[in-house]
Amino acid sequence: MRRYPGVFFVSTGRSGSTLVSNILRDHPDILSISELLSTAGPHAFYPPRVRGTEFWRNLTEPRRIVYFSVPPASQEFLYNLNETSRYTRETLPPISTITLPHLTDKPDTLLDELSQEIRTSNKRPINEQYQILFNFLCQKYNRPLWIERSAMSILMVKSIYRLFPDAKIVHIIRDGRDVALSMSEHPAFRILTRLNERLSKFGLHLLAPKGGYGASRFYSLGDRLLESLFPYDIYASKNLRPQKTASLWNQMVAIGEAQLSKINPGQKFTLRYEDVTSDPYNTIKGLVDFMGLRAPSDWLRSAIQRPKPRASRFAILPDWKREAIQSACAPSLQRLGYPLETFRYAPQRGAQAIVAPPKVANVASPTQEHH
């Protein structure tokens, strides 16, 4: 079996990874795969050996958590639902929600082609099943290198490195204070935050279970049970304080950084969202260089037009809210090199902060990372 090389883009989610994958999708040598691992969820790397039929079922069988995490009104939902669609919202395969429409405007046709390729595969290590899928797509679209980007994949670094020891890993980071605000408004992270809180009361570790996130026997086998026990619809729709998601982000980064520290320095690269938007030319060029690819001038010229600087939403909050959010994620802000604000309360609670928004520290180069 020819093994096309690949790069995993890992992040907590809400860190600009969608922007990055959309930029790279137009590169002539890159096959950009979006949200494949998150589609599989607890089955991403479990069981360790699997038949093609079971592997395919884990990517295509509708699941309530996917249904409520990515509603049709969201920007992430890419499948064209209408009166002539093959699927309804209830019957739509998870892999058709984002992954396949990200690759083609004919996701149903691609679904059928992949089904024929994967379902006939004999029982084998799960990484080989993924490799069959990657190989098929690289050959079909004539791209020599694949990338996979999934939200929450920062929790899967250990499994990724174990199963794909030759793959490169790009860690996309963003100021956790702004990430927390975005997470608090997103259905998927509302569900994840509340589910993590509920399970922790029973001594269960959702973010770092035995075996690893996405490779846990307990969560893979108990997936349907959890869906029947917890009201994902309520979790997704109910407002959530950003302090809660700041704490979630803090935990995710701590887990991911510990796993990244075990990886060969030459195989990992830190990509800071703030650098993508403030200095797109050098940042995108440096990323492509790390991946071992050329940066065609016409592609690069188009790519650097896509990132747009965005003002920090965190910076305009009242100081007491900013302090609460920062306090919940301060350890991981420091892990990633983001400076902390010092708060001095004005006489009345909620008055405008008198400390300037933080400046973002420079990201380490591929050869001088700060893991």
Overall average pLDDT of the 286-314 stretch? 97
Distance CA 156, CA 256 (A): 8
pLDDT tens string 104-142: 999 999 999 999 999 999 999 999 999 999 999 999 999
Q: Are 136 and 117 in contact (CB under 8 A)?
A: yes
pLDDT in the model for residue 343 = 81
pLDDT band at 342 (very low <50, low <70, confident <90, very high): confident
Q: What are phi and psi of 30, to 5 degrees?
A: -120, 130
Kindly state the percentage of the chain with pLDDT values over 70.
92
Q: Which domains does the chain have, with CATH numbers?
A: 6-179+203-220+246-310 (3.40.50)
Distance CA 239, CA 241 (A): 7
Task: Read off the tokens for 149.
Answer: 């980007």
The structure's pTM equals 0.91
Position 209 pLDDT exceeds 50 = yes
Distance CA 136, CA 110 (A): 11
Helix (H, G, I), strand (E, B) or coil at 312: coil
pLDDT in the model for residue 348 = 40
Instruction: Give the containing element (helix H, strand E) for 149.
Output: strand 145-150
Distance CA 106, CA 59 (A): 18
pLDDT in the model for residue 345 = 53
C-alpha distances in angstroms, 246 versus 183, 225, 253, 323, 327?
A: 8, 28, 11, 11, 9
Q: Which residues contact 126 (CB under 8 A, 6 or more apart)?
A: 45, 46, 47, 48, 49, 50, 55, 163
